């Protein structure tokens, strides 16, 4: 069902009014409940609880969920003498649902990160100071280039929490150096992206918060996972084999897939912050 009152520019893709938005949100709720029930650590439990609350808010804001909430509220009013029926809770949920339903679909932060990367690195202005754009992310003179030779250098290169401050780190994964478990990438806390060029297929990659641009250029296959509120852009080269995933509902992920010979997939739906867009690889000669 598509609501005539939807505030989104494209109601068909709105997470509240789009086609099957209610069904998708119910699945998100079910998945969060399962993760919460199976959580083995307190951190996993709290993340699943947060995802459960987000899914509940999304369901309430869909056309079908909003109608159900209104009916439940009216039923609660009819039983006002029943101490188990909390009408104030329904009022708060209705108010939140009304707020969400009137909003435009938010811009995916990962899409903004890709546009920034494209403007400063790929377009014709990229050779000018700061890519022709105020600020110093991706400034041609502010790169730190690292090519790890062993496991110790590899782990050190991708831990960049205290980095940034005008310096963008590029990490080239060209060696078949395997770590025990996924490669944990920690971008700077100040919002500066970390850029990783991946030609290897041994390690899956976890982006732990922050902002990251991953150029996937391996035919062996990697799983790239966003978690803890990360903004991640994955640019897949032709013939590269990669899969993009996310843990939690507070991440934003963009997969730029080539229009030819693509073996890249994304398992993050739009209502969980995922975007999937094609590109003509001829414009990426500067990567």
**235-249, pLDDT tens digit by residue?**
988 888 899 999 887
Q: What is the mean pLDDT of the chain?
A: 78
d(Cα 66, Cα 153) in Å, to the nearest integer? 53
- The segment with the largest mean pLDDT, out of 134-138, 178-182, 222-226, is 222-226
Looking at the predicted structure, is the pLDDT value of residue 195 above 60?
Answer: yes
| Residue pLDDT, tens place only, 119-158 | 766 665 554 544 444 444 555 557 788 999 888 899 999 9
pTM of the predicted model as reported, rounded to 2 decimal places: 0.64
Q: What Cα–Cα distance (Å) separates residue 110 from each residue in 34, 128, 235, 275?
A: 27, 24, 12, 8
The pLDDT score that the predictor gives to residue 201 is 72
- What local confidence, expressed as pLDDT, does residue 109 receive? 84
Q: SS3 breakdown of the chain: % helix, strand, coil, rounded to 5? A: 40, 25, 40
pLDDT at 284: 61
In the predicted model, is pLDDT for residue 225 greater than 90?
Answer: yes
* Residue 76 Cα to chain centre, angstroms: 38
pLDDT, tens digit (0-9, with 9 covering 90-100), for 28-71 = 788 888 888 888 888 888 888 888 888 888 888 888 888 888 88
CA distances to 55, 137, 176, 278 from 118, rounded to whole Å, are: 33, 12, 29, 14
Q: Is 262 strand, coil or helix?
A: coil
Q: Extract the tokens encoding 200.
A: 């290897």
Give 242's contacts (C-beta < 8 A, 6+ positions apart): 216, 218, 221, 222, 223, 224, 234, 236, 263, 264, 265
CA 245 to chain centre: 8
For every residue of 93-104, DSSP letters joined together read HHHHHHHHHTSP
Percentage of the chain exceeding pLDDT 70: 76
From CA 282, how far away is CA 239, in angstroms rounded? Answer: 14
Instruction: Tell me if 36 sits within 8 A of 29, measured CB to CB.
Output: no
């Amino acid at each position: 069902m598509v609501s005539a009152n939807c505030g989104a520019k494209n109601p068909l893709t709105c997470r509240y009014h789009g086609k099957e938005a209610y069904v998708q949100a119910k699945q998100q709720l079910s998945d969060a409940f399962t993760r919460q029930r199976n959580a083995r650590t307190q951190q996993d439990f709290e993340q699943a609880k947060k995802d459960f609350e987000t899914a509940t808010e999304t369901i309430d804001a869909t056309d079908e969920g909003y109608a159900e909430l209104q009916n439940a509220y009216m039923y609660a009013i009819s039983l006002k003498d029943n101490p188990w029926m909390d009408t104030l809770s329904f009022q708060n949920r209705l108010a939140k649902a009304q707020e969400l339903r009137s909003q435009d679909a938010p811009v995916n932060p990962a899409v903004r990160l890709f546009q920034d990367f494209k403007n400063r690195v790929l377009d014709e202005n990229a050779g000018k100071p700061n890519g022709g754009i105020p600020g110093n992310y991706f400034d041609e003179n502010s790169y730190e280039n690292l090519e790890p030779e062993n496991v110790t250098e590899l782990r050190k290169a991708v831990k960049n929490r205290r980095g940034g401050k005008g310096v963008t780190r590029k990490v080239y994964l060209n060696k078949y150096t395997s770590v025990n478990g996924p490669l944990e990438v920690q971008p700077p806390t100040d919002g500066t992206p970390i850029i990783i060029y991946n030609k290897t297929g041994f390690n899956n990659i976890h982006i732990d918060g922050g902002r990251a641009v991953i150029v996937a250029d391996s035919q062996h296959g990697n799983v790239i996972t966003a978690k803890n509120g990360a903004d991640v852009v994955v640019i897949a080269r032709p013939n590269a084999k990669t899969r993009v995933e996310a843990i939690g509902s507070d991440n934003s992920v963009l997969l730029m897939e080539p229009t030819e010979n693509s073996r890249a997939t994304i398992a993050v739906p739009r209502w969980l912050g995922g975007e999937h867009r094609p590109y003509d690889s001829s414009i990426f000669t500067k990567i």
